[in-house]
């Protein structure tokens, strides 16, 4: 399982000359569940696109398991880091659900029963079993998003990057994504999730990275990232901690970023009225 090491990473887009990343240092250990939050345009997507070689650094470098990513072929990178795009329609191209999900693992050399098994498991996890023959564009937006996720799950990469996986999902869809992240973590895989949903991040990640203006401005556990001391930094990037964190603080219970932690702290009888 690879570690990801990002050193002095900067990226300037050719069009407009925007410096989207401005010196990012980050070390992500194998098996970590990391949430990346920040405003639109703070550099989240630009950062993760360097992890699988979609973008090349203007400055700095990305090392995967000790190997400089810029020295790896795209196919080698794809076998290590799977990236699920925010917009499924930029990813989906096949004319059937099965063909869509088979494409990635087949390119990575999976064949026969191994391939069939990867596809079946990915479709089951995303609730798309039974839709193998459907045309992806007959599925609604939320299910096309789950299909995009399935096609990356089937590649069985040790690292997965999910860009806004819960947008457009209803309550059941969000639960499904939450279970998928948990299952991947149980298998020891690294999961990096970009999200605007602070509750989702607090509940599914063990580490929260806050970005602003192409830099990392906060990096810690959910309890640290959503603690009172961090609120000013969060506010500077227009983020608000989850309700459980705000309520815990008002009740003098310390940092309680998840519902479960808040209830547990209240149960401990530490509520002073």
Partner 1 sequence: MTLSLRGVGYRYAGAERPALLDVDLDLGDGEVVGIAGASEAGKTTLCLVVAGIAPRTVGGRIRGTISLDGERIDAWPIHRLGERIGIGFQNPASQLSQVAGTVFEEVAFGPMNLGIAREEIVERSWTALEALRIDALAERDPVRLSGGQQQLVAIAGLLAMRPAHLVLDEPTAQLDPAGTRLVADAIGRLAADGASILVAEQKTDLLATITSRMVVLESGRIALAGRSAEVLADPRLAELGVAEPSAVRLRRLATAAGLDPAPLEEAVGA
Cα separation, 27 vs 16, whole angstroms? 30
Residues in the chain: 273
Q: By CB under 8 A, what part of segment 19-38 binds partner 1?
A: 38
Which residues does residue 62 pair with via DSSP β-bridges, in sequence order? 6
| Shortest distance in whole angstroms from residue 266 CB to partner 1 | 5
**Residue 37 and residue 196 in contact, taking contact as beta carbons nearer than 8 Å:** yes
Nearer to partner 1 by Cβ, of 112 and 140: the residue is 140
Q: Is 40 in the site for partner 1 (CB under 8 A)?
A: yes
Tabulate helix, strand, coil % of the chain (nearest 5).
40, 20, 35
| Cα-based angle 252, 266, 178 (whole degrees, multiple of 5) | 105
Rounded to a whole number of angstroms, the minimum distance from the CB of residue 188 to partner 1 is 30
SS (H, E, C) 94-154: CCCHHHHHHHHHHHCCCCHHHHHHHHHHHHHHCCCCCCCCCCHHHCCHHHHHHHHHHHHHC
Residue 273 engages partner 1 in binding (rule: CB under 8 A)? yes
What whole-number distance in Å separates Cα of residue 126 and Cα of residue 149? 8
Q: Is residue 267 involved in binding partner 1 (CB under 8 A)?
A: yes
Task: For partner 1, give the closer residue by CB, 142 or 204.
Answer: 142
247 binds partner 1 (CB under 8 A): yes
Q: Does residue number 76 form part of the binding site for partner 1 (CB under 8 A)?
A: no
Q: Per CB under 8 A, does 138 bind partner 1?
A: no
For residue 168, the minimal CB distance to partner 1 (Å) is 6
Q: Per rule CB under 8 A, is residue 270 in the interface with partner 1? A: no
Give min distance, CB of 110 to partner 1, in A. 30
Region binding partner 1 by CB under 8 A among candidate stretches 25-33, 39-47, 118-126, 147-155: 39-47
The only residue of 159, 244, 255, 261 in contact with partner 1, by rule CB under 8 A? 244
Per the CB < 8 A criterion, the answer to whether 217 and 272 are in contact is no
């Amino acid at each position: 399982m690879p570690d990801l090491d990002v050193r002095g990473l900067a990226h300037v887009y050719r069009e407009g000359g925007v410096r989207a990343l401005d010196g990012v240092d980050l070390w992500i250990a194998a098996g970590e569940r990391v949430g990346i939050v920040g405003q639109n345009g703070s550099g989240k997507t630009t950062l993760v696109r360097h992890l699988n070689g979609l973008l090349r650094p203007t400055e700095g470098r990305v090392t995967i398991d000790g190997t400089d990513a810029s020295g790896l072929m795209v196919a080698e990178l794809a076998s290590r880091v799977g990236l699920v795009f925010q917009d499924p329609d930029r990813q989906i191209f096949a004319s059937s659900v099965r063909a869509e999900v088979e494409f990635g693992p087949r390119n990575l050399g999976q064949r026969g029963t191994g391939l069939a098994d990867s596809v079946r498991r990915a479709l089951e996890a995303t609730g798309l079993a039974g839709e193998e023959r459907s045309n992806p564009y007959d599925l609604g937006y939320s299910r096309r998003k789950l299909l995009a996720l399935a096609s990356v799950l089937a590649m069985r990469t040790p690292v997965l990057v999910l860009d806004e996986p819960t947008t457009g999902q209803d309550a059941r869809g969000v639960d499904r994504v939450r279970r998928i992240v948990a299952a991947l973590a149980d298998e020891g895989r690294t999961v990096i999730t970009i999200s605007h949903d602070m509750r989702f991040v607090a509940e599914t990640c063990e580490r929260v990275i806050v970005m602003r203006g192409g830099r990392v401005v906060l990096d810690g556990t959910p309890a640290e990232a959503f603690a009172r001391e961090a609120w000013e930094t969060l506010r500077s990037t227009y983020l608000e901690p989850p309700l459980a964190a705000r309520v815990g603080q008002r009740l003098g219970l310390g940092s309680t970023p998840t519902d479960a932690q808040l209830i547990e702290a209240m149960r401990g009888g530490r509520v002073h009225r």
